[in-house]
Amino acid sequence: MKQQIIITTDLGYGDAGKGTMIDALVHKENIDLVVRYSGGAQAAHNVITPDGRHHTFAQFGSGSFRSGTQTYLGPKMLAQPQFLLAEAQALQKLGVVDPLSLLTIDARAPIITPYHQLVNRLKELARGSGRHGSTGIGIGETRADSENVKVQHLTAGDLASPDLKHKLSEIRDQKRDLMMTLLHVNANNSDIIKLWHMFDDKELLAESVRSYTELSSRVQIANSSILRETLHAGKRVIFEAAQGTLLDEDYGFFPYVTRGKVTTIHAHELLAEVGYTDPAYVLGTVRAYAARHGPGPFPTENAWLRSQIHEQHNDHGDWQGAFRMGHFDMVATKYAMEANGQIDGLAVTSIDQLEKMKSFHFASQYRDATGSEYSQLTLPEKGNLAELEKLSSWLMQGVSPLYEARPMSTKNVVEAISSILQKPVAAISEGMTREDKTFFEAAV
């Protein structure tokens, strides 16, 4: 990949193997800066090094095992200071020298507080069997507050403020008042009552202030100048995606979506902000089979396939719910590609998990209850919740996948995906380490 910038995006429901691909690209292409351009502290990007070290990257860039590679958390990335400090400690134990010195946080980046997390969990518990599949970290609550000028919220630029404790106390009080009605409606729910009492935990407030102050003293809190300076120096940059396009708030299948935009839009906004006009290479990441955490549409879900594949680093989550699997979905992937706009090539991961299968199955079309067949979905008007809700209901209740199959081989997987999606496969992954990746320069 010859371009100075690579932008990655996940073309599924998340869990596409982004972390392991980022690690491989950073080492192969000698990339100096990883930009986390969307999402937040809920990321779970697994990387295993050739010498056996394993880390699940949440906020640090997944290229951090390359000596000197820095991480920039952009203005749309939601940062969680306590988690960042803990992740830095974990990385240092794995041999990354002084991880916090390699981290820059944009001063505009919203801060996830423990009170946003409490509200998130209280709301999800109150939904009972109608849960949305939240990670329980407070992503949606933080994003909503960061876009509302009428409520108090924190950004990374506030972490060193002398008014930090006052601001955080104000957030606590706002959130506690907001939850009063929910508390009264669920007064007999012991789990909700237990969480509610945490609003009054003085140690929670004190520890939060302490960790925020520590983080602000140990990392660089700036603006997009680090991106501008890195590019002007002629160094390579990779934008690391979060979650998956099919969970995007504008194009995902509502209400089973994240609160934020997880297409490449924020990456392009950052490049425009620093005045970069050269073309970037956009790499769409997909698994050789489909996967998603928690509830929501999943036309190709297959219980038998789930029984055949062992995911060492993906399982049932207390808040997200079950880890589900299904056959590759060409229809949903085309939809995700259209939502992103520019896609220059594809990275296909987890091919090794299918090596024992006789065939590579994939859905090439959907059939609805009327017998109509669809090889492509119509992209709704951006952010039209009524259309997205209708599409979600239709996918969950009204369609059946129509499958094709090819004899199982890496070559057949690559050819099927490339030919039907009409994009070159630029990289494949047949294992967890960077040594298990193959790059096809002719496809770039």
Q: What is the 3-state secondary structure (H, E, C) of 299-355?
A: CCECHHHHHHCCCCCCCCECCCECEEEECEEHHHHHHHHHHHCCCCEEEEECHHHHC
In a domain, 101, yes or no: no
Same domain, yes or no: 414 and 302: yes
Residues 201, 245 share a domain: no
Look over the chain and give the mean of its residue pLDDT values, rounded to a whole number: 92
Range 28-52 average pLDDT: 93
* The pLDDT value given to residue 131: 59
What's the pLDDT band for 185 if we cut at 50, 70, 90? confident
Look at residues 196, 220, 244 and tell me which one is the last residue of a structural domain: 220
pLDDT band at residue 6, thresholds of 50, 70 and 90?
Answer: very high
pLDDT at residue 335, rounded to an integer: 97
Judged against a pLDDT cut of 70, whether residue 444 lies above it is answered with: no
Among 220, 241, 259, give the residue marking a domain's end: 220
Domain shared by 229 and 209, yes or no: no
The pLDDT value recorded for residue 178 is 86
Quote the DSSP letter at residue 297: -
Question: Does residue 404 sit in the same domain as residue 280?
Answer: yes
In a domain, 90, yes or no: no
Top mean pLDDT of 175-184, 282-291, 310-319, 380-389 is at 282-291
What pLDDT sits at residue 258?
86
- Among 82-86, 123-127, 398-402, 416-420, which is the least confidently predicted range? 123-127
Which of 159, 189, 220 lies at the terminal end of a domain, its last residue? 220
The pLDDT of residue 325 is 93
Q: Is residue 106 part of a domain?
A: no
Same-domain check for residues 198 and 237: no
> With 90 as the cut, is the pLDDT of residue 219 above it?
yes
> How much of the chain exceeds pLDDT 90, in percent?
73
pLDDT at 236 over 70: yes
CA pair distance 440, 444, nearest whole angstrom: 7
Evaluate whether 290 touches 298 at the Cβ level (below 8 Å): yes
Percent of the chain with pLDDT over 70: 95
Contacts for 92 with CB less than 8 Å, ≥ 6 apart? 98, 99
The answer to whether residue 79 is domain-embedded is no
Domain count, the chain: 2
Q: Are residues 361 and 410 in the same domain?
A: yes
* 270-290 mean pLDDT: 96
Do 385 and 422 have their domain in common?
A: yes
Count Cβ atoms within 10 A of the Cβ of residue 128 and give its class: 0-12 exposed, 13-18 middle, 19 or more buried.
Answer: exposed
Enumerate helices (H) and strands (E) in the chain, giving the number of each.
14, 18
Three-state secondary-structure class, residue 133: coil
CATH number of the domain at 145, please: 1.10.300
Q: Are residues 166 and 33 in the same domain?
A: no
| Domain with 212 in it | 114-220
Confidence class of residue 125 from pLDDT cuts 50, 70 and 90?
confident
Residue 331's CATH number: 3.90.170.10
The answer on 324 and 252 residing in a single domain is yes
Q: Do 169 and 131 reside in the same domain of the chain?
A: yes
pLDDT at 310 over 70: yes
Instruction: Give the number of other Cβ atoms within 10 Å of residue 386's Cβ.
Output: 10
* pLDDT given at position 397: 86
| Domain assignment present for 67 | yes
